[in-house]
Amino acid sequence: MSTDNGNTRHARAFDLPGWPCPPRVRDIPGTERSWGWVPMSAGTFAVAQDELGYLWADGNYVPQFRLPCDTYVQSGAVLCWIPHGLGAWIHSNSFCMLASVSRLDMIPERWVPITEALAELPEHITIRSGVAGT
């Protein structure tokens, strides 16, 4: 159980048994088996590449408990815990929405490096029927 000011008990979604999404993307690399979906659309910069092609995730973004849908033009990406950092699986429908960010303009505290581009979703990433839709 989490607290908001040290005195009041207040549960968070991440306190739910089996809930995979930490409060922010920056919390995923330090939380084993955690993951979350982020949108990739015009004006949403949850995932970006820098001028050298390196991938970054907005650490302040709130990941969602859902999976990409093949029928959406902007299907988004799944960011997940991997043993050596933050993994990213980007749906091919969303490749054209990969944002660009300049390292000169980046606020270092905001952006988290993506340490591996994944060809497939890890096996632990699933949504049980009736819990969340895509």
User: Positive or negative, the Cα torsion across 81, 83, 88, 92?
Assistant: negative
Top-confidence residue, 13 or 6: 13
Provide the residue type at 56 as one letter.
Answer: W
Position 130 scores a pLDDT of 35
- Strand segments, DSSP code E, in the chain are 35-38, 47-49, 55-58, 77-82, 85-90, 99-100, 111-113, 116-117
Q: Supply the mean pLDDT for the chain.
A: 87
Percent of the chain with pLDDT over 90: 61
In the predicted model, is pLDDT for residue 23 greater than 70? yes
pLDDT at residue 41, as a whole number:
84
Q: pTM of the predicted model, to two decimals?
A: 0.86
Q: Which pLDDT score is estimated for 92?
A: 92
Q: For 55-91, how does the pLDDT look when each residue is reduced to its tens digit (9 = 90+)?
A: 999 999 999 999 888 777 778 999 999 999 999 999 9
Q: Which two tokens stand for residue 61?
A: 């973004």
Q: How confident is the model at residue 4 (pLDDT cuts 50, 70, 90)?
A: low
